[in-house]
Structure 1
Amino acid sequence: MRAVLCGYYGMGNGGDEALLATLLQLLPAFVTPLVLSGNPEETRQRYGVEAVPRKSLQAVVNALRRSQVFIWGGGSLMQDASSAINPFYYGGLMKLAQAMGLRTIAWAQGIGPLNRGSSQWITRWALQGCDAVSVRDRASAQLVNGWGIRHQLAPDPVWALQAAPAALQHLPTPRVALALRNHPLLTPQRVANLTQALADFQGSTQACFVLLPFQPSKDRALANHIAQHLPGPHEIIEISQPETLKGVFKEIDMAIAMRFHGVVMAVAEGCPCFAISYDPKVTQIMQALSLPGWSLSDQDPLPLIPDNVETMTQQWLTLYAKGDNLDLARSQIDQALIHGALLEKTLGQLNHQEK
């Protein structure tokens, strides 16, 4: 059985690559994956799978013709906050697969925000035609439940990604990871405050900072800026292998993360995590896990990021002294495997029907 895997793959985003790596780990052995990728050659080399250009209609159609299953492979694909085109691209591919007779799965989806009526319409239409649906947060579950669509709810699959060792032995301990990104709400004044607070925190703890640009095209500039103002040891590390990126957090004593999957990876490896929300998906995981942190938006139910540098530093020091999250990690990892069970059950049934 061949399955087309559709997501934000091959686009240089560590979180989405981690979703693909997890999906490949959880696919049943009788399924041969075919990945739609922004960088097919890189995807082929990294994962040893067949891949075709995600923006080539001819290549996509040919891939669908040779396959029996189409899978939305995790993440916030159906949302119109970053682009109004997203729901039409991903929803259009789902409907095309269904029209061509493929069985379809919406897997580990974080649905929304859907601010436009057209986005809501195509998302509902696409999901109604799926053979199975799983979502990764309660807000998504409430939305699809309101549409009368059967689904399963479980934490993001990356919780269950098998981490690989990361070589950080050359860096002094303790180590603190930073998984930050640029954002319009992260104003120059807030960047200045954040940078000064990090420098003060480093002065108090003598920690080595490990700066992790999850999506270098968007994150590297901020990492460079912060690194230039740190008084102590630090290193910017770009890791393209998702398993190794997650493995970094095994060697970390605390993380400060804006990136959603930075939060997931840190807590999954038992690392205390302080989160900064720029998006509802980050807010939702912070609330679900009762994580300390702030929001960049005053419209968010979370505490607003402080203007006072000393307040920022003190809150990080409080978490730093608290310790690990191992009990929390174990429960989330166990629940995340529900997404794997859904694949086993659904694809197993389809495979039996094919025979």
Structure 2
Amino acid sequence: MKILISGYYGFENTGDDAVLECIVAGLKERGADDITVLSNAPYVTSSKYGVKSINRNSFKDVFNGIKDSDVIISGGGSLIQDITSSKSLWYYLSIIFLGILLRKKVYIVGQGIGPIQHRYNKILANFLLKRVDMITVRDKDSLSILKELNIEKNAILAADPVVNLNVCSDERIEKILEDEGIDKNRYIVVCTREWGNNELSRVELAKAIDDISTKYNLEVVFLPFYYKKDELESEKVANYLKSPYKIVRGKYEPKEILGIIKKCSLLIGVRLHSLIFALVALVPFIGISYDPKIDGFLNSVDSKIFKVDRFSSDEIVKYAEYILNNKDEFVENLKIHLEALRELSKNNFVYLKNNSNGV
């Protein structure tokens, strides 16, 4: 069986790279060995994951890739939404449309659906998603959005594929921390991202980081998830800090980023996958939400939600104190949720059993 995977790959985004790594690993564990990925950097993707890869920006290559495949997988991440842009949504829906048109099996895997704001986009998504063979979503909020689009019979709850990510060796983690000049025993990780020009939020976040790092004697480490782009936002927040800090400057693989998080005492994250990495590493975390997908994840693990434009430093500090003063209890709760999500994540591959071509 020939499988083609579509998603936001080859852009040096740790979260999306981790999604691809886990989808490819899950497929290979179940016997799939002919996998092609649409990527912005085909050579890099091919060499990293041991798959074939073609240029996602070449219509000819994409069309031929779909034509030559038996199964089209759209996933994971937040592809079916128009908050980023309608153009992005149309791109991913066009892949789905071509798969349907060429009579391929089409599956949407481990995705967060929505929001879809524009009426025309809702009509288009409804028309195409009703015609795919199966949809697995990573949270209950996505199921609700599909229900609003009158799509229910072919949609099931799963989990973000990244809950199955493996960490690198302890030796590798220690080498990275040494190279970055980070105290391996006591540090707090901050994973932020651009959310507009709301300076007040940056000030409040910096104040919270200062208070937490001072009270618990923790070094402040900014960990970019989107290579280079998140460094800029980290610097904007860091400009308001009184505490000394470091920004991780190296380019690392997802399993290495997971290793950096594994050794920290607390993570404060605006990036969705930074929070998922913290869950996988069983590290206490505080999520600041700029998007419904963050809400969906935090709800799935019974975690408090702080809105990016409405939180105060005092609220963050108070919650951090609660977490760190009850760390064992918090981590035990994370273990329960991680186990449950890993079990749900198996649903991301149930279509392999039902595919007439087998694997």
Alignment of 1:1-355 (within 5 A): 1-27=1-27, 28-145=30-147, 146-165=150-169, 166-167=173-174, 170=178, 171-172=182-183, 173-184=185-196, 187-227=198-238, 229-232=241-244, 234-297=246-309, 304-306=310-312, 309-323=313-327, 324-343=330-349, 345-350=350-355, 352-353=356-357
Aligned to 2:86, the other structure's residue is in SS state coil
State the aligned residue count: 344
**How far 1:239 sits from its partner (Å)?**
4.2
TM-score, with structure 2 as normaliser: 0.88
**How far 1:231 sits from its partner (Å)?**
2.6
CA distance in 1: counterparts of 2:270 and 2:38, whole angstroms: 27
**How far 1:91 sits from its partner (Å)?**
0.8
CA distance in 2: counterparts of 1:196 and 1:133, whole angstroms: 42
Amino acid at match of 1:4: L
CA distance in 1: counterparts of 2:78 and 2:132, whole angstroms: 17
**How far 1:295 sits from its partner (Å)?**
0.1
CA distance in 2: counterparts of 1:235 and 1:262, whole angstroms: 15
CA contact (8 A) 2:136 2:156 kept: yes
The superposition leaves residues 308-346 of structure 1 with CA deviations (integer Å, 9 ceiling, x where unpaired) of x45543433332322142443343344334443442x42
CA contact (8 A) 2:177 2:260 kept: no
Aligned to 2:354, the other structure's residue is in SS state helix
CA distance in 1: counterparts of 2:339 and 2:39, whole angstroms: 27
CA contact (8 A) 2:231 2:247 kept: no
CA contact (8 A) 1:182 1:222 kept: yes
Structure 1 residue runs without a partner (length 5+): 298-303
CA distance in 2: counterparts of 1:37 and 1:210, whole angstroms: 30
CA distance in 1: counterparts of 2:46 and 2:224, whole angstroms: 23
TM-score, with structure 1 as normaliser: 0.89
- Please say which of residues 334-343 and 266-275 is displaced more in the overlay: 334-343
CA contact (8 A) 1:250 1:270 kept: yes
- Please say which of residues 2-11 and 331-340 is displaced more in the overlay: 331-340
The superposition leaves residues 53-88 of structure 1 with CA deviations (integer Å, 9 ceiling, x where unpaired) of 111101101211221110012111000011011221
CA distance in 1: counterparts of 2:246 and 2:260, whole angstroms: 14
CA contact (8 A) 2:163 2:342 kept: yes
Q: 1:133 to 1:312 in 2, by over 3 A?
A: closer
**How far 1:262 sits from its partner (Å)?**
0.7
CA distance in 1: counterparts of 2:315 and 2:98, whole angstroms: 52
Q: What is the identity percentage for the equivalent residue pairs of Structure 1 and Structure 2?
A: 24
CA distance in 2: counterparts of 1:50 and 1:349, whole angstroms: 24
CA distance in 1: counterparts of 2:317 and 2:283, whole angstroms: 18
Amino acid at match of 1:79: Q
Q: 1:313 to 1:127 in 2, by over 3 A?
A: same
**How far 1:23 sits from its partner (Å)?**
0.1
